[in-house]
Amino acid sequence: MELSERGQQQAALLARYLQEKPLHALYASPMKRVLQTLRPLHVNGTPQPIILPELREVDFGDWTGLAWDEVQTKFGVSPFQWLDLLESAGIPNAECAQSLRSRLAPRLNRILRQHEGQHIGVACHGGVIRMILSILLDWPFSRFALFEIEYASITQIIWIAGRPKLQFVNLTPWRGLSQSTAGRESRV
Protein backbone atom coordinates (compact mmCIF):
# COMPACT_ATOMS: atom_id res chain seq x y z
CA MET A 1 0.00 0.00 0.00
CA GLU A 2 1.08 3.55 -0.68
CA LEU A 3 1.45 6.16 2.05
CA SER A 4 -1.61 8.35 2.35
CA GLU A 5 -1.29 12.14 2.23
CA ARG A 6 -1.34 12.10 6.03
CA GLY A 7 1.41 9.47 6.06
CA GLN A 8 3.55 11.64 3.80
CA GLN A 9 3.07 14.59 6.17
CA GLN A 10 3.99 12.39 9.15
CA ALA A 11 7.12 11.23 7.31
CA ALA A 12 8.16 14.84 6.60
CA LEU A 13 7.73 15.82 10.26
CA LEU A 14 9.58 12.69 11.38
CA ALA A 15 12.47 13.61 9.04
CA ARG A 16 12.55 17.14 10.43
CA TYR A 17 12.73 15.77 13.99
CA LEU A 18 15.47 13.28 13.10
CA GLN A 19 17.53 15.94 11.30
CA GLU A 20 19.17 16.80 14.63
CA LYS A 21 19.74 13.16 15.56
CA PRO A 22 22.63 11.93 13.40
CA LEU A 23 22.76 8.20 12.70
CA HIS A 24 25.78 6.05 11.91
CA ALA A 25 23.61 3.51 10.10
CA LEU A 26 20.01 2.99 9.12
CA TYR A 27 18.36 -0.40 8.54
CA ALA A 28 14.96 -0.76 6.93
CA SER A 29 12.25 -3.18 5.97
CA PRO A 30 11.91 -3.72 2.22
CA MET A 31 8.19 -2.93 2.34
CA LYS A 32 7.01 0.03 0.28
CA ARG A 33 5.49 2.13 3.06
CA VAL A 34 8.71 2.04 5.10
CA LEU A 35 10.78 3.12 2.11
CA GLN A 36 8.31 5.92 1.36
CA THR A 37 8.47 7.04 5.00
CA LEU A 38 12.28 7.23 4.78
CA ARG A 39 12.33 9.25 1.54
CA PRO A 40 12.32 12.69 3.30
CA LEU A 41 15.27 11.61 5.48
CA HIS A 42 17.61 11.40 2.49
CA VAL A 43 17.72 15.20 2.17
CA ASN A 44 18.85 15.42 5.80
CA GLY A 45 22.14 13.60 5.25
CA THR A 46 20.90 10.41 6.87
CA PRO A 47 22.79 7.32 5.64
CA GLN A 48 21.12 5.35 2.87
CA PRO A 49 19.10 2.53 4.43
CA ILE A 50 20.42 -0.99 4.41
CA ILE A 51 17.40 -3.04 3.35
CA LEU A 52 16.94 -6.24 5.36
CA PRO A 53 14.18 -8.73 4.50
CA GLU A 54 14.13 -9.87 8.14
CA LEU A 55 12.63 -6.48 9.09
CA ARG A 56 9.47 -6.94 6.97
CA GLU A 57 6.17 -6.91 8.83
CA VAL A 58 4.74 -10.12 10.17
CA ASP A 59 2.81 -12.12 7.57
CA PHE A 60 -0.85 -11.94 8.65
CA GLY A 61 -1.90 -14.84 6.42
CA ASP A 62 -5.64 -14.84 5.74
CA TRP A 63 -5.97 -11.41 7.41
CA THR A 64 -3.62 -9.67 4.97
CA GLY A 65 -5.19 -6.62 3.33
CA LEU A 66 -8.33 -6.67 5.48
CA ALA A 67 -9.47 -3.75 7.61
CA TRP A 68 -9.68 -4.56 11.32
CA ASP A 69 -13.49 -4.48 11.23
CA GLU A 70 -13.39 -6.98 8.33
CA VAL A 71 -11.18 -9.29 10.42
CA GLN A 72 -13.72 -9.11 13.23
CA THR A 73 -16.65 -9.80 10.89
CA LYS A 74 -15.01 -12.55 8.85
CA PHE A 75 -13.08 -14.34 11.62
CA GLY A 76 -15.04 -13.36 14.76
CA VAL A 77 -11.90 -12.04 16.42
CA SER A 78 -11.30 -8.72 18.09
CA PRO A 79 -8.42 -6.88 16.44
CA PHE A 80 -7.08 -6.24 19.94
CA GLN A 81 -6.26 -9.96 20.24
CA TRP A 82 -3.79 -10.09 17.34
CA LEU A 83 -0.65 -10.41 19.47
CA ASP A 84 -2.14 -13.26 21.51
CA LEU A 85 -3.23 -14.97 18.29
CA LEU A 86 0.24 -14.60 16.73
CA GLU A 87 1.78 -16.00 19.90
CA SER A 88 -0.50 -19.05 19.80
CA ALA A 89 -0.30 -19.48 15.99
CA GLY A 90 -4.04 -18.73 15.85
CA ILE A 91 -4.24 -16.66 12.65
CA PRO A 92 -4.91 -18.88 9.62
CA ASN A 93 -1.87 -19.18 7.33
CA ALA A 94 -0.01 -16.46 9.23
CA GLU A 95 3.50 -16.31 10.56
CA CYS A 96 3.51 -17.13 14.28
CA ALA A 97 5.37 -15.15 16.94
CA GLN A 98 8.06 -17.84 17.28
CA SER A 99 8.79 -17.67 13.56
CA LEU A 100 8.96 -13.86 13.73
CA ARG A 101 11.35 -14.10 16.69
CA SER A 102 13.50 -16.67 14.87
CA ARG A 103 13.90 -14.41 11.85
CA LEU A 104 14.56 -11.22 13.85
CA ALA A 105 16.76 -12.27 16.77
CA PRO A 106 19.90 -13.30 14.81
CA ARG A 107 19.79 -10.15 12.65
CA LEU A 108 19.19 -7.92 15.68
CA ASN A 109 22.16 -9.48 17.49
CA ARG A 110 24.42 -8.90 14.45
CA ILE A 111 23.32 -5.25 14.22
CA LEU A 112 23.99 -4.68 17.92
CA ARG A 113 27.46 -6.28 17.73
CA GLN A 114 28.37 -4.41 14.56
CA HIS A 115 27.34 -0.98 15.85
CA GLU A 116 28.41 -1.01 19.49
CA GLY A 117 28.59 2.56 20.76
CA GLN A 118 26.91 4.00 17.65
CA HIS A 119 23.54 5.57 16.96
CA ILE A 120 21.54 3.46 14.54
CA GLY A 121 18.00 3.51 13.24
CA VAL A 122 15.75 0.61 12.36
CA ALA A 123 12.75 1.52 10.21
CA CYS A 124 10.13 -1.20 10.32
CA HIS A 125 6.59 -2.04 11.43
CA GLY A 126 4.50 -2.24 14.61
CA GLY A 127 4.66 -6.02 14.92
CA VAL A 128 8.42 -6.01 14.33
CA ILE A 129 8.98 -3.20 16.83
CA ARG A 130 7.01 -5.13 19.44
CA MET A 131 9.05 -8.27 18.77
CA ILE A 132 12.34 -6.36 18.96
CA LEU A 133 11.23 -5.01 22.35
CA SER A 134 10.20 -8.51 23.41
CA ILE A 135 13.63 -9.88 22.46
CA LEU A 136 15.66 -7.07 24.03
CA LEU A 137 13.61 -6.70 27.21
CA ASP A 138 12.92 -10.44 27.54
CA TRP A 139 9.18 -9.90 27.98
CA PRO A 140 6.43 -12.06 26.45
CA PHE A 141 5.45 -10.81 23.00
CA SER A 142 1.73 -10.62 23.80
CA ARG A 143 2.45 -8.15 26.66
CA PHE A 144 3.31 -5.55 24.04
CA ALA A 145 -0.38 -5.22 23.22
CA LEU A 146 -0.22 -2.70 26.09
CA PHE A 147 2.02 -0.44 23.98
CA GLU A 148 0.67 1.75 21.21
CA ILE A 149 2.98 1.83 18.20
CA GLU A 150 1.82 4.55 15.80
CA TYR A 151 2.84 4.96 12.19
CA ALA A 152 5.99 7.12 11.84
CA SER A 153 6.72 6.86 15.56
CA ILE A 154 10.05 6.47 17.32
CA THR A 155 10.95 3.94 19.98
CA GLN A 156 14.41 4.47 21.47
CA ILE A 157 16.53 1.91 23.24
CA ILE A 158 20.05 2.57 24.50
CA TRP A 159 22.32 -0.47 24.59
CA ILE A 160 24.80 -0.14 27.48
CA ALA A 161 27.22 -2.88 28.55
CA GLY A 162 25.16 -5.55 26.80
CA ARG A 163 21.88 -4.46 28.37
CA PRO A 164 18.95 -2.50 26.98
CA LYS A 165 17.65 0.68 28.54
CA LEU A 166 14.27 1.70 27.16
CA GLN A 167 14.22 5.49 26.68
CA PHE A 168 10.76 5.92 25.16
CA VAL A 169 8.09 4.17 23.12
CA ASN A 170 5.84 5.68 20.45
CA LEU A 171 7.25 9.20 20.27
CA THR A 172 5.26 10.93 17.52
CA PRO A 173 6.88 14.16 16.31
CA TRP A 174 3.88 14.71 14.03
CA ARG A 175 1.31 14.58 16.87
CA GLY A 176 -0.10 18.08 16.22
CA LEU A 177 -0.89 17.23 12.59
CA SER A 178 -4.54 17.91 11.79
CA GLN A 179 -6.72 14.79 11.74
CA SER A 180 -8.66 16.19 8.78
CA THR A 181 -5.77 15.81 6.32
CA ALA A 182 -6.49 12.16 5.59
CA GLY A 183 -7.64 9.13 7.51
CA ARG A 184 -5.23 6.77 9.17
CA GLU A 185 -4.85 3.49 7.30
CA SER A 186 -6.24 0.64 9.32
CA ARG A 187 -5.47 -2.42 7.27
CA VAL A 188 -3.57 -5.47 8.41
End-to-end CA distance of the chain: 11
pLDDT in tens, 31-42: 999 999 999 988
Enumerate residue ranges in the chain where pLDDT < 50. Answer: 180-183
Predicted TM-score of the model (pTM): 0.89
Instruction: Find out whether 123 and 18 touch, Cβ atoms under 8 Å.
Output: no
Structural domains of the chain, count: 1
Q: CA-based angle 9:15:20, to the nearest 5?
A: 145
Query: Does residue 176 belong to any structural domain of this protein?
Result: yes
Query: Does residue 66 belong to any structural domain of this protein?
Result: no
pLDDT of 181: 43
CA distances from 60 to 33, 64, 92, 134, 157 (A): 16, 5, 8, 19, 27
Query: Does residue 135 belong to any structural domain of this protein?
Result: yes
Query: Does residue 64 belong to any structural domain of this protein?
Result: no
CATH number at residue 128: 3.40.50.1240
- The stretches of the chain forming alpha helices (DSSP H) are 5-18, 32-38, 68-75, 82-87, 97-114, 126-137
Query: Does residue 156 belong to any structural domain of this protein?
Result: yes
Show the domain range for 46. Answer: 5-58+108-181
pLDDT of 80: 81
